[in-house]
Amino acid sequence: MSAFRLSELAEEEERRRKRAPWGVTALLLLSGLALIRNGSGEFDVGPPQPASAAAPDTRTAPDTRTGAATLAAAAAAPLGFSAVDRVRIPAIQVNAPVTPVGLNPDGWIGAPPPEDRNLAGWFTGAVSPGENGTAVVVGHVDNKQGPAVFYGLGALKKGDRIAVLRKDGKTAVFETYGVELFSKNGFPGARVYGSKGRPELRVITCGGGFSRQNGYDGNVVVFARLVAVS
């Protein structure tokens, strides 16, 4: 795992701002990132998987529920850069500290230490949660001792909220608008990591089938947009 110390975040942020908007996505795709490599899967009952009804609505035409005007009215103004302190997801009883993570030498997003079951990671190669763009938070689904921080991620539903507590004292509140399971062989990097032109958040853990040889064969991805700041 490649983890950045907080003292290195300013330098990393400066490098990030100099990259093109698609730089992060291109880097992740070229390095073959399709699976957050964590989890042991050594349990009789696997983690919950997303229901088909939880998938994001990919239609471009606005409707009465999620039209462009409604989204604009509900969205909160983007924040500036800040490191991340904690993530809370009340619907699945998550209340966890967050550590910065970067890319491993082999091109994978680094994960928090597997022995710490209640620890999430913020990927510093993307924006910070609340900034304009797509922020990324990752975490283990399980370890050898049992369920880990994002074990219940696949059970989230549209409308569930995710609060990210930032080091600047502000809390960015995101609302889930989709939860999907993607196989590692068909991971849509541009769709997951690409900027939507507004502050968004992706929360990612392992999911799908499991084998002792290859681990989990997919990722659970939560799509959420910024709706409030406190």
pLDDT in tens, 79-137: 999 999 999 999 999 999 999 999 988 777 888 998 999 999 999 999 999 999 999 99
d(CA 43, CA 134) in angstroms, rounded, equals: 33
Is 14 domain-assigned?
yes
**What's the pLDDT band for 163 if we cut at 50, 70, 90?**
very high
Q: Find the DSSP H helices in 121-173.
A: none
Interval 199-225 mean pLDDT: 92
Is 189 domain-assigned?
yes
Q: Is pLDDT larger for residue 49 or for residue 111?
A: 111
**What's the pLDDT band for 202 if we cut at 50, 70, 90?**
very high
Q: Tokens 């491993």 — which residue?
A: 104
Q: What's the pTM value of the predicted model, to 2 decimals?
A: 0.78
Long-range contacts of residues 182-185, Cβ cutoff 8 Å, at least 24 apart: 182/34, 182/218, 182/219, 182/221, 183/208, 183/217, 183/218, 184/34, 184/35, 184/217, 184/218, 184/219, 185/34
Is 1 domain-assigned?
no
Res 11 pLDDT > 90: no
Q: CA quadruple 36, 42, 48, 52: dihedral positive or negative?
A: positive
Interval 2-6 mean pLDDT: 31
Summarised one tens digit per residue, pLDDT across range 24-47 is 443 343 333 334 444 555 545 578
Res 178 pLDDT > 90: yes
Which pLDDT score is estimated for 39?
52
Q: Which two tokens stand for residue 183?
A: 């196989």
Q: Is pLDDT larger for residue 1 or for residue 102?
A: 102
Domain that holds residue 201: 6-229
Least reliable range by pLDDT among 3-7, 145-149, 173-177? 3-7
Q: Which two tokens stand for residue 52?
A: 């088909």
Which pLDDT score is estimated for 213?
81
CA 229 to chain centre: 18
Q: Into how many domains does the chain fold?
A: 1
In terms of DSSP bridges, do strands 199-211 and 133-139 run parallel, antiparallel, or are they unpaired? parallel
Phi, psi at 173, each rounded to 5°: -105, 125
* 21 φψ region: left (φ > 0), alpha (ψ -120 to 50), beta (else): alpha
Is 211 domain-assigned?
yes
Is 29 domain-assigned?
yes
Is 42 domain-assigned?
yes
Is 39 domain-assigned?
yes
Task: For the chain, give the percent of residues with pLDDT over 90.
Answer: 56
Which pLDDT score is estimated for 58?
60
Which CATH number does the domain housing residue 154 bear? 2.40.260.10
